[in-house]
Amino acid sequence: MISPSAGELWGEARGKVILVGEHAVVYGAPAIVLGVGTAARARVRPAPEARLRLGEREVALAAGAHRGKLPLGAPEEARAYAALLDALGAPDLHAEVTLALPAGVGLGASAALAVALARAVDAAARGGDEGRAARVLAAAQAWENVFHGNASGVDAAAAYHGGCSWFTRAGGVEPLVPARPLRVGVAVAGPAASTRRMVEGVAERRRHEPERIDTIVASITTLVHAARAALTRGDEPALGALMVDNQRLLSELGVSTPELERAVAMALDAGAFGAKLTGGGGGGAVVALLSDESEQRVLAAWRRAGLFCFAAMT
């Protein structure tokens, strides 16, 4: 944990979970996304040359005008940091970022890192209030593009705004207002899995069985619309039941695992309204919709099984 001292500027950002709709979203379905927890914190201070510390790792950039002209062989973090500084017209800064959520398990840690850093750098560059969201998100996207090619932007939007969003590939991100704040639990149930490989796996199955996969995608599309309606009328039991349907369909898509199924079953047995894998699957995290009463029971069940978990209100 890093602690503040005088003269430093700070940024924070949330993690994210996909409440419903992953994988189908690749084929045009909507998804509902929640910003959860504090996933990343960044601090920056002016320095003679730009440097970035990420946990144990530190990269340095050449000073001033040369920092953006890094060779292609330079570490990705250095190229990403140079892109982010340039996007914000920032001076050379020494930055330090810490993650509070595990990376690579579908909780948006990488976008949160980028947004927390962009927020702190924007403050140092005296960006001002007007247009801040667009500026910070564009800088975070410049960072993300170095690692992930063309990121959809949904993780960065959730990291910046928190709250609840409706996302489609065609239309981007739109805020959604639940009738009541949603209480969710998140548990990391399996090792990190490559989202790209999971997406390719679904595409491969679709080549062999187009009708079966398209039927599943259509069912997920219908249930995401129903989930939006349940959320806006504050009907948690209905929303939870839709998450359980979504889990069954994700399992039919071939992206669930026995570990994910077990973590989902534990949450349901402990009284969650609903639970499912979140993100690419093949490992990674599950999300459960909780009530005041079930929250501690669900977290205790996951902890007894040795899973990293936390609860959040959105």
Give the interface with ligand PMV as residue ranges (CB under 6 A).
18, 22-23, 25-26, 106, 152, 195, 199, 279-280
Decide whether 30 or 279 has the Cβ nearer to ligand PMV: 279
Decide whether 178 or 279 has the Cβ nearer to ligand PMV: 279
Of 51, 48, 295, whose CA–CA distance to 186 is shortest?
Answer: 295
Strands 93-99 and 51-54: parallel
51 vs 59: CA distance, rounded Å:
6
Smallest distance from ligand PMV to CB 235, Å: 25
Smallest distance from ligand PMV to CB 202, Å: 8
Decide whether 25 or 90 has the Cβ nearer to ligand PMV: 25
Decide whether 106 or 163 has the Cβ nearer to ligand PMV: 106
Residue 15: beta bridge partners?
36
Helix axes 258-269, 236-252, angle to 10 degrees: 160
Q: What angle do CA 172, 175, 181 make, to 5 degrees?
A: 140
Smallest distance from ligand PMV to CB 25, Å: 5
Smallest distance from ligand PMV to CB 260, Å: 13
Smallest distance from ligand PMV to CB 256, Å: 12
Decide whether 138 or 192 has the Cβ nearer to ligand PMV: 192
Q: Are 120 and 44 in contact (CB under 8 A)?
A: yes
| Residue nearest ligand PMV by beta-carbon distance | 279
Q: Are 54 and 117 in contact (CB under 8 A)?
A: no
